[in-house]
Amino acid sequence: MKKIYLTLLSIIITTSMYAKQNEVFAKVSSPVFLNSTLSKTIGTVQTATPLNIIKEKNNSLLVKVEGWSAEGSETIIFKKVGQRVIYAILDENSIKNIKTIKTVLDDYETPWNQVTINVWIKKENIVKDINIIWEEASTIFNGRCGGCHPVPELQHFTANQWPGVIKSMKDRAGLIPNEFQSVVKYVQNHSK
Ligand code: HEC
């Protein structure tokens, strides 16, 4: 009996963890647009950025991007305050479309805004299951970064340290731009 309750409890916990019904992810670095005709790009969302579907039209989706931007670089949206996992890089002229939810100070007294922006993206550029992205990225990471020395532990660097490490080894590992970005996202999201 106890076992059944525990199983039920774990099912409830697991489903509530994945309860973000409309959440999808950018499969690769993708252009985003101001309207559904996809004529005017206003920046890019990067690999693995979570996107919340608001509506669908033909081959495009209106999605909400939510993250944090530091004062002085309002057009770059990050995952967390002080954690430089980039979600989106937007054009200057899209600032007027960015909504601020709240502002907090980081450890260095720099103000960070919690922001959202609604953008259109091509349907073909999203995936529902983030593990598809992580599996591909870990195959590249483990395959290429172990060629000359042992593959470094994911926990060995912080999310802010990893991009520099991958950048310094990018050419040795022969990473093309999309591979570089998905490896960076993978290690940042699995770092200490
Ligand atoms: C062609 C061989 C080669 C490949 C492929 C390679 N490395 Fe390296 N790596 C080296 C060498 C040689 C060093 C010794 C330090 C130096 O010369 O920069 C090194 C050093 C390092 C270090 C320790 C120095 C530091 O920057 O802290 C890390 C971490 C590292 N590599 C990570 C990686 C990762 C991650 C990848 C995959 C993206 C990778 N390496 C792919 C050759 C390689």
| pLDDT one-digit tens code per residue, 98-149 | 999 999 999 899 999 999 999 999 999 999 999 999 999 999 999 999 999 9
Measured from the Cα of 164, ligand 1's closest atom is: 26
φ and ψ at 190, to 5 degrees?
-120, 25
Distance (angstroms) between ligand 1 centre and the Cα of 181 equals 17
Question: Ligand 1: which of 138, 148, 162 to mutate, judged by most atoms within 8 Å of the beta carbon?
Answer: 148
Residue nearest to atom 41 of ligand 1 (CA): 145
Structure tokens at 191: 């770092």
Residue 90: C-alpha distances to residues 82, 83, 109, 147 (Å)? 19, 18, 24, 36
- Closest to 159 measured CA to CA, from 79, 53, 42: 79
Distance (angstroms) between ligand 1 centre and the Cα of 68 equals 31
pLDDT over 80 at 87, yes or no: yes
Are 50 and 25 in contact by the 8 Å Cβ rule? The answer is yes
Spatial neighbors of 69 by CB under 8 A, at least 6 apart, are: 75, 76, 77, 78, 98, 112, 113, 115
pLDDT over 90 at 56, yes or no: yes
pLDDT band at 21 (very low <50, low <70, confident <90, very high): confident
Structure tokens at 167: 């950048």
Would the CB of 153 count as within 6 Å of ligand 1?
Answer: no
The whole-number pLDDT of residue 182 equals 96
Distance (angstroms) between ligand 1 centre and the Cα of 169 equals 5
The whole-number pLDDT of residue 3 equals 61
